[in-house]
Structure 1
Amino acid sequence: MLNKVSMSKKRSADHSENLFAFYQCKARSWESAAQGMLKLSALIAVVLLLSCVSAVAQKSRQQLEKEKRENMERLQELQGILKQTTEQKRATLGQLKAIKQQISAQNRKIDLINDDLKLMDSELNELQQAKIALDKDLEKLRDEYARMVYNASKRNNSLNELSFLFSAPTFNQFLVRYKYLKQYTDEREKQVAQMKKVQSLMIAKSTSISNKKKDQENALKSRIAEGKNLEQLRGTQDKVVKELSSREVEIKGEVAEVRKANKQLENALTRIIQREIEERRERARAAAREKAARDRAEREAAARAAAERAKEKDNDKEEITKTEPPVAKPEPKKEAVNDDGMNEEEVSLASSFAANRGRLPWPVPGFISDGFGTKEVLKNVFQENQGVDIQTNAGTAVHTVYDGVVMDVTNMGVMRNVVFVQHGDFYTVYAKLKNVNVRPGQKLKARETIGVVATDGDGVSEVNFQIWKNTSKLNPEVWLRPR
């Protein structure tokens, strides 16, 4: 009997020792498990890194979406302008210019769709790489968890754990064993939580991949549709060019009339600017003469007062001595006059205007239908422009591009009403206005309304906008902010 009890105690002790060895082994494995968790964290870090890359791509995505919105707004604006010009029964140069701008915007739209597709490829690749990493991560987690469950099942679970705890020879051993058991249980819970997290990430990535593929399909369909629209526009352009070419003599006559009007406008503005410069210089010279006269009078009065004081002093003396005449002060040099005779306010305004090169607001919304200088609008038909023509919608208000003073308001035939605004030694011109609501000498602020755009007999509404520095013509396109 004693032998049986002894053998039972021995088996219980051996079992406890086996359990202790098992948990010691697991404790040693926890270090490697912790390293495994570090690797697991590294895999998740890869996923997070891919998410960071996606964040950078998101910035590109936001920029692309912004460009797409702006181009769409431009297309809608051009469609409105083109509709206005196509209401006429015959083709016009204004219609041709609008079609060319719409073709340009349509090409840009297709380019943006292609950029979108490339970006989608990159985003899809990132999502797939992240999913592959998560697949490997989940597989390792499942294998580790399966081993832990299998090993635990061989130890009869809670009964063996209790036996393991209470068979400890000392209280300290009891605490050590309890710590091992708790760490083991915590490790299993962590692995379950980690698997759930990875599974959730995988579902999210799979959904994103599916949505991205749908976006790609829609973008491809859109590219095909926009390509067809582009071909239709090119067909319309060919028809307009053909019709205009058949009326070459008539078109050349119209262009010649516009050229003559431009020359008249140029001559008129040159005369106004030269007169203004001469008047400013004369005002500056007159002011300098007045100042010199005042200074001379002040010096003479000071000399006379000094002589009187010296004479009174000499009369008080018994012996009259000659007093030296007061030393004449050298006449100060005349202040240099600005080459253009501008005052400080005008100099400051000119400097501020020059600093806004490339940032000036547009006088009207629309597009540049005729650029600065000479260009061929049709075969053998050349057109010259002292500024730029901006085609817009009928009835659009015209605004100043900067603070200034109205120099003159006049009517010049084909150029309709014209407003000249001075900005120091810079000048802006707004021609082809239906009506004007400013007067000469009036001070204006930037973006202030000065009139309404005129519409010609062909249904074209455009403003001729010019920038001059004294008598030199500048290209307004480089002064206006990009659109």
Structure 2
Amino acid sequence: MKQIFTIVVSFLLYAIAFGQAQQRKQQLEEQKNAKLKNIAEINKILEEATSKKQRSLGELNAINAQIQQREQIRGAIRREISFIEKDISDTEKIIEGLEKDLSDLKKEYARMIYQASKMSNRYNQLTFVLSAKSFNEFYRRIQFVRQYAVARRKQLEQILKTKEYLETQNQIVRKQREEKTSTLTSLQEEDRELLNLQKQQSELVKELAKREAELRQQYLAEKKELQELEKQTLALIRAEIKKTGGGETKEIVLTNPEDIKLANSFAQNQGNLPWPVDNGFISLRFGKQKHPVIANFYIDNAGVKIQAKQGTKIRAVFEGKVEAVRERMGPGYSIMINHGDFFTIYEPVDNVMVKENERINTKQILGTIMPNFEGTPELLFCIYKNDKKLDPEKWLYKK
């Protein structure tokens, strides 16, 4: 009975582990496919960037984004290898336990056969039964002969079942080892891809460093534009705060039920907002970021910059009212949308398709993306809660 219990428990544990492994494998596969889709998208942007005569920060951003995606894929593969190794270890423990159970079952069966051999014919069995000293003992001996025969058959059946299950486990562990080999091959391929990208990255950084003076001028111009945008944005938001009577609290006082509902709905969608462009990647994150080429230069980014293909349409991430459409210091326009006490900003925008005070819907087209100073199509996207800057990457859905 002990062996039967061990086998049943082993089977249940394996069934649970197998289900978890399959679910985990599916999740990792979905993550990998999502990353590969992102890489394909970035590749198209990279091809557009490399088609230009002069190499650019946009090209470097695309390579950096690919490196990041490849590193994430490699991390997922490493986790999968770790999980497979644990699965192999768990299966080998099951096999070890089954082999011990099988050995014990065989020993027990051998003892039963030996005992049975002592009364191997009907005469011996009859003698054994008739030699009873009382009727009760006579009855018990008849029951014993019958039950012993049944027990032998069950023991043999259990040996055969254990052998069958043991072979199944051996097949599983062989498959797991094949899967590990295949996954290790995938990891080696990712390592080669990553090494190639890092080589391209290093060569491009060296080439761009030769144009440091030009990049410094570009950096200063962009810094001036960002400061002007933030100044205008805060002026508009603080005017709205003052208009609603929230001057002391420095917060917009919402009284209209529709505005309250809109603000609450926006807040509830943190992490689920659609991207303001349908293709692209984050080329510059929120906050203080190190310049990719110039040493000791930092960019204090009010939002996130999203690099995309030329002519990509810009869309609103949530419904609301167009608070302002303003000309920028450089080419194009800046669009600010009011979502109650939240605000989203998009710039630079070309071919503007909305006007001030217009009510708009989620994903409504605002215009098209414009190239920056070096000719790379790049959108600055910002989110404010009252006059406080928020990290947009925490609000957009994860690609």
TM-score, with structure 2 as normaliser: 0.83
Matched, 1:100 2:48: no
Identity within the alignment, %: 31
The separation in 2 between residues aligned to 1:130 and 1:337, in whole angstroms, is 65
**Is there any run of 5+ residues in structure 2 with no aligned partner, and where?**
none
Matched, 1:258 2:222: yes
Corresponding residue number in structure 2 for 1:401: 317
Match of 1:141 among 89, 105, 109: 105
The separation in 2 between residues aligned to 1:455 and 1:158, in whole angstroms, is 101
Matched, 1:376 2:290: yes
The separation in 1 between residues aligned to 2:282 and 2:249, in whole angstroms, is 40
Corresponding residue number in structure 2 for 1:294: none
Corresponding residue number in structure 2 for 1:350: 263
Matched, 1:124 2:109: no
The separation in 2 between residues aligned to 1:98 and 1:338, in whole angstroms, is 39
Corresponding residue number in structure 1 for 2:52: 88
The separation in 2 between residues aligned to 1:418 and 1:188, in whole angstroms, is 87
The separation in 2 between residues aligned to 1:449 and 1:56, in whole angstroms, is 43
Match of 1:74 among 38, 44, 62: 38
CA deviation after TM superposition for structure 1 residue 206, in Å = 0.8
Give the secondary structure class of the aligned counterpart of 2:169.
helix
Mapping of residues 331-342 of structure 1, within 5 Å: 340=252, 342=254
Q: Which has the higher helix share?
A: 1
Mapping of residues 223-242 of structure 1, within 5 Å: 223-242=187-206
The separation in 1 between residues aligned to 2:35 and 2:133, in whole angstroms, is 82
Corresponding residue number in structure 2 for 1:462: 378
The separation in 2 between residues aligned to 1:165 and 1:448, in whole angstroms, is 94
The separation in 1 between residues aligned to 2:252 and 2:120, in whole angstroms, is 104
Matched, 1:476 2:388: no
The separation in 2 between residues aligned to 1:162 and 1:437, in whole angstroms, is 104
Corresponding residue number in structure 1 for 2:356: 440
Q: Greater CA deviation, 71-80 or 246-255?
A: 71-80
Corresponding residue number in structure 2 for 1:453: 369
The separation in 2 between residues aligned to 1:190 and 1:459, in whole angstroms, is 81
CA deviation after TM superposition for structure 1 residue 160, in Å = 5.1
Query: 2:256 is matched by which residue type in structure 1?
Result: E
8 Å CA contact retained: 1:258, 1:414: no
CA deviation after TM superposition for structure 1 residue 465, in Å = 0.4
8 Å CA contact retained: 2:218, 2:373: no
In the TM superposition, what whole-angstrom CA distance separates every residue of 1:266-320 from its partner, at most 9, and x where no partner exists?
3443444355455555xx9xxxxxxxxxxxxxxxxxxxxxxxxxxxxxxxxxxxx
The separation in 1 between residues aligned to 2:176 and 2:253, in whole angstroms, is 66
8 Å CA contact retained: 1:408, 1:440: yes
- Going from structure 1 to structure 2, the CA distance change for 1:71 and 1:338 (only over 3 Å counts) comes to closer
Corresponding residue number in structure 2 for 1:22: none
Query: 2:380 is matched by which residue type in structure 1?
Result: N
**Structure 1 vs Structure 2 CA RMSD:** 3.5
The separation in 1 between residues aligned to 2:96 and 2:353, in whole angstroms, is 69
Give the secondary structure class of the aligned counterpart of 1:466.
strand
The separation in 1 between residues aligned to 2:183 and 2:135, in whole angstroms, is 71
The separation in 2 between residues aligned to 1:50 and 1:371, in whole angstroms, is 44
**Is there any run of 5+ residues in structure 1 with no aligned partner, and where?**
1-36, 285-335
8 Å CA contact retained: 1:88, 1:459: no
The separation in 1 between residues aligned to 2:287 and 2:2, in whole angstroms, is 68
In the TM superposition, what whole-angstrom CA distance separates every residue of 1:119-166 from its partner, at most 9, and x where no partner exists?
222111111111111111111222222333343344344565577678
- Going from structure 1 to structure 2, the CA distance change for 1:177 and 1:444 (only over 3 Å counts) comes to farther
In the TM superposition, what whole-angstrom CA distance separates every residue of 1:415-468 from its partner, at most 9, and x where no partner exists?
624321101232111223343433333323434443443456866333210112
The separation in 2 between residues aligned to 1:436 and 1:161, in whole angstroms, is 103
The separation in 2 between residues aligned to 1:371 and 1:106, in whole angstroms, is 18
- Going from structure 1 to structure 2, the CA distance change for 1:267 and 1:448 (only over 3 Å counts) comes to same
CA deviation after TM superposition for structure 1 residue 237, in Å = 0.7
- Going from structure 1 to structure 2, the CA distance change for 1:260 and 1:215 (only over 3 Å counts) comes to same
Give the secondary structure class of the aligned counterpart of 2:166.
helix
- Going from structure 1 to structure 2, the CA distance change for 1:449 and 1:227 (only over 3 Å counts) comes to same
Give the secondary structure class of the aligned counterpart of 2:116.
helix
Give the secondary structure class of the aligned counterpart of 1:446.
coil
Corresponding residue number in structure 2 for 1:16: none
The separation in 1 between residues aligned to 2:124 and 2:238, in whole angstroms, is 109
- Going from structure 1 to structure 2, the CA distance change for 1:201 and 1:238 (only over 3 Å counts) comes to same
8 Å CA contact retained: 1:61, 1:119: no
8 Å CA contact retained: 1:82, 1:99: yes
CA deviation after TM superposition for structure 1 residue 389, in Å = 0.5
The separation in 2 between residues aligned to 1:234 and 1:339, in whole angstroms, is 46
- Going from structure 1 to structure 2, the CA distance change for 1:44 and 1:468 (only over 3 Å counts) comes to closer
Corresponding residue number in structure 2 for 1:248: 212
- Going from structure 1 to structure 2, the CA distance change for 1:386 and 1:42 (only over 3 Å counts) comes to closer
CA deviation after TM superposition for structure 1 residue 211, in Å = 1.4
CA deviation after TM superposition for structure 1 residue 103, in Å = 1.5
The separation in 2 between residues aligned to 1:421 and 1:397, in whole angstroms, is 17
Query: 2:224 is matched by which residue type in structure 1?
Result: K
CA deviation after TM superposition for structure 1 residue 393, in Å = 4.0
In the TM superposition, what whole-angstrom CA distance separates every residue of 1:198-249 from its partner, at most 9, and x where no partner exists?
1121111111111121222222222222222212111111111112111122
Corresponding residue number in structure 2 for 1:197: 161
The separation in 1 between residues aligned to 2:316 and 2:109, in whole angstroms, is 74
Alignment length (residue pairs) = 394
The separation in 1 between residues aligned to 2:288 and 2:89, in whole angstroms, is 50
8 Å CA contact retained: 1:432, 1:463: yes
TM-score, with structure 1 as normaliser: 0.70
8 Å CA contact retained: 1:454, 1:462: yes
